[in-house]
Amino acid sequence: MAAPVTQQVSGGGARSLSPALTGPESGQPLAPSVAELPVLDASGRRLPFGALFRERRAVVVFVRHFLCYICKEYVEDLAKIPRSFLQEANVTLIVIGQSSYHHIEPFCKLTGYSHEIYVDPEREIYKRLGMKRGEEIASSGQSPHIKSNLLSGSLRSLWRAVTGPLFDFQGDPAQQGGTLIVGPGNNIHFMHRDRNRLDHKPINSVLQLVGVPQVNFTSRPSVIHV
């Protein structure tokens, strides 16, 4: 078994990964059978999951489903990350959903997200990575990315479901997501599996791990000076 990754190399030199964010899978390779599983892009084109990060390092965010208001607001903040920040750190940002590929384009228009996005409609990658299904009762703290309360957010999700061209939940409502830092190749540097819908990792804590400047999500994108 490979030793856990303890140093992060970026344009500014090596920096230590936060011990609190170094998961048990750090330094372990992604199984080739998982890397070969297909994802679909917005046009329905199939490509191997591993091809997304074969030549580059990637932050891969698995969302619950596209009707989830929490996922919507989280991805709205992912959309605020300047492309130049990612390019300077030689990192790509990828969102994976578990709906039909037909929902990708409307979701991107809704959230303003313009980075890479794919779907795993059979949830095979979710399953093989051990992403949880069902809600685990655990205190996840206050998310800096969620603006709506449960009632208003749920009502908006329901409205989008009944007024959309395809009346479905755009994925399994019980499926939880997670965050993966992987590549180049199948090397996993970090993995977080969400225990419930509010247990996503704060975006800036993930950006810090890959040497990307932090973003002020309360207004226009800007560097946080510390």
Could you report the per-residue pLDDT of 74-112, keeping only the tens digit for each?
999 999 999 999 999 999 999 999 988 998 999 999 899
Going by C-alpha positions, the residue among 147, 174, 135, 158 that lies closest to residue 67 is: 158
CA-CA-CA-CA torsion sign (71, 63, 40, 210)? positive
User: Mind listing the pLDDT tens digit for each residue in 112-143?
Assistant: 999 999 999 999 999 999 999 877 765 555 67
The order of strands in the sheet holding 46-48 is 46-48, 38-40, 116-119, 91-97, 57-62, 178-182, 188-193
Using only the alpha carbons of the chain, give its radius of gyration. Answer: 17
CA atoms of 30 and 10, how far apart (whole Å): 22
The whole-model pTM stands at 0.76
For residue 31, how far is the Cα from the chain centroid? 19
Quote the pLDDT of residue 87: 96
